[in-house]
Structure 1
């Protein structure tokens, strides 16, 4: 896996500034024109067979099917769209023939109601134009709906919604390859169109097991946590993975994580969640934990483990944000003086959250960084604001990536997890 500090150093060179930053500029322009339409089929459990949701675009007097997706197991659906006018319909495909037939549950959003997504120019929006929280009911057979599109046009079919809510996968699946981690950093719009984002499960939800949420860092994917997951007691814990484009602004990422966890909680009603994060994922996780508590959510997050997190930001990211022809959006939040980092420490972690901070110190000699783990400077890993709230601070002779496979880390991590089970059994 490429180290983010090396990437930043390379990006400052004139050799790469032409091609990489030209592509990045185009990506960010595309990203700024992306919005989300999302909702839920309220009575999806009553339907027989998988539920498909159809997004229609409206241009002048013509209505055209644009995208078709299956709902998530939770009944939720989501689409990535450009500014325009849209409407929604859905049906349960009881006979799995990929077409609506008489006798199958079906419905529309509204009468149907039109959903308008204005452009930023028209509405002065700053990616606030998302339309979420829509609710649709599927009506029992009997109502004739004759204008569902043929699903022969496979280009319309996306299979998965934009937001993944407990999609079951394996860590060795191609979706988690390192190339996609880099894609999410340099081409976030392409990442979203290709992969979406959200929380993945390795197995169906089990109310008897405690969820452990893993959050990767910049250029990362969930596969980096494989050694920790392999050593985990899977009879007691169920690993979940937040997968997202790591080049996006961190406030947006943490908000998306919060909303995704809330949707899963509303479906599965879990009352305990443990959080484990690597690198920049620790910053995302701390912001999420604070927002989750602030919105009054009842799930008890009582363990937060951060590994090699740049708690004080990155001076290299700050330089990149100021001097590069086009900045990766997350560089702005990694600036030690950024509003994001300052706000991160304005209030402490919620009561009851036990934070355990791990850091590596097996770094490289570098003209660009002080003492480091090969990617993050120790000064940032050991920022006093994070240390003063940590229950424990543990240093290991590992670099930024090898620490995830460290026997010492894994042993201590499992001890922390198992101690929670022992306390709950008392």
Structure 2
């Protein structure tokens, strides 16, 4: 044990110059000890809590970043659940660490930067939608993409203005890309009788059907059904997240949905399911049955026909996934089965003679030509489009995801939703309190 008292007794016998050197040495030693103690304390605060800041993706996480997003074993790709969230203490610590370190890594032996999936967010809109799409972009960036920096592709049948490009580029944390849709994907194909198409629009207008007289709406539905994934800006990607103007995201998305799809072998994800207006697709199911009869080899053995039909495929029950929100694998749309399916339906002229939407086309395609287990319900991503919302009614999910929606606004178990039917045919367990938010 070091004794300063004994050391002082010995100092009396020393000459002045020796005393000066000795005192200086002591002061230096005490300074070193003080600095060492302080450094050890700081290290225990930072490294003891095992907090890492990922410079590439700007994601704060524990030393196993994906642990905060999924339940994993030692293999980070072995995902069990995509709904587990960080505890409050971890979130607070991450936030504090970010303030202290900026973009610096705390540990020189830290893990490699987050590797994004081959994915993009995609929006089809017009210049006049600028302020509404700005709202959507800001909301999704705040809830999700500011941590992951995925690219965002904006498509239009005309060139976007410089102002549109400037404003949207400033909001997107990844790379913003702007593309023009080829004319052949936004015009009448040669086989369509335009006079017959006009008569169809007029008939629907008399029936009071929404968008009945809009030619552009039909071009949009046809493009979204069969062409968007072949656009030059989209062909480089495998996954996409479709986002429309003036939609809302109510909850933190604290994991990567694209990675969730890949690791869990999912092809399609949705939040809202709903019934279609029957008058807009009067001949659609007949053509679907014709295609299946001629091409039975494309039907998946584990298909989801019972979501689409209550009588084994004889008739269509009108249920579909609302495609204004969808996260999916474009390689499925590019597959031989779906390509031939779309081309067959397109050749009938139904997009123009009636008013076929891309939602039933996508829903029927994915339900017939993919396995039922490859379709995922994102029940933890709060979402709103128009009058319909998905808001987690499980209180713990709502709290963990820091949601801002009213649970009573949730559409899942309401009368016009296909939510109850979805849970019935999948056998999934409903939230314990679902009846409090249902039309029974």
| TM band (smaller chain) | under 0.3
Higher relative contact order (CA 8 A, sep 6+): 2
**TM-score of the pair, normalised by structure 2:** 0.26
Higher relative helix content? 2
Higher relative strand content? 1
Which has more radius of gyration? 2
